[in-house]
Amino acid sequence: MDVVTQARIAPGGRRDIGVVNWTMISAGAKAARVPGPPHLFTTMARHKSLFRAWLFFAGRMMPRGKLPRRDTELVILRTAWRNGCDYELDHHRRLGKRAGLTDAEIEQATSPDLYGWNGRDLALLSACDELHATRNLDDATWAAMRAHLSERDAIEFLLLAGHYAMLATFINTLRIDLDH
């Protein structure tokens, strides 16, 4: 028998999160073609000022980061999968397709096997795996990644992977429901 869980902190409504946050979230949901205000945002926005600061930070990496969108989506998918975060997987499978990932690549990025990946993709996915396992990169993994990323891009990659690991912790711990 599956145990039914419910959100530990319910998504907030307009009154709970404020008109400014509600307006920003609603506009973002419409632009992203998400059905209704995303539960992640309306839950986090219960802490109004922290939500706005987080939104600014998160937006600098996705969607306005310097890494190619395909790379960003690979990193997010792998990190979400490694952290067991169905909420992010649900969103980023769609976003990954828009960024040019094929269905097969999305499925392979969210499975244990890295067979068939090479070059830049393999370096990024392997680094995600090692970050998840050790919260660090050994010299060989770092060198493989740096063969494909500038110093600036390497910094962004680390912040992106760490950020999505943090989000997975937030989402999974609060039991935030999928948005459909």
pLDDT tens sequence across 129-142:
999 999 999 999 99
Residue whose C-alpha is closest to residue 177's, from 26, 42, 21, 1: 42
The residue-averaged pLDDT of 55-59 equals 93
pLDDT digits (tens, 9 = 90+) for 6-16: 999 999 999 99
Question: Collapsing DSSP states into helix, strand and coil, what is residue 96?
Answer: helix
Q: How confident is the model at residue 4 (pLDDT cuts 50, 70, 90)?
A: low
Residue 1: the pLDDT is 40
Question: What's the gap between Cα 92 and its chain centre?
Answer: 7
Question: Which CATH entry fits the domain spanning 69-174: 1.10.10.410, 1.20.1290.10, 3.40.50.10320, 3.90.1640.10?
Answer: 1.20.1290.10
Per mean pLDDT, which range of 32-36, 114-118, 162-166, 168-172 is the poorest?
32-36
Which pLDDT belongs to residue 3?
53
Domain map (residue ranges) of the chain: 14-61, 69-174
CA angle, 17 then 38 then 61, to 5°: 95
The pTM score is 0.94
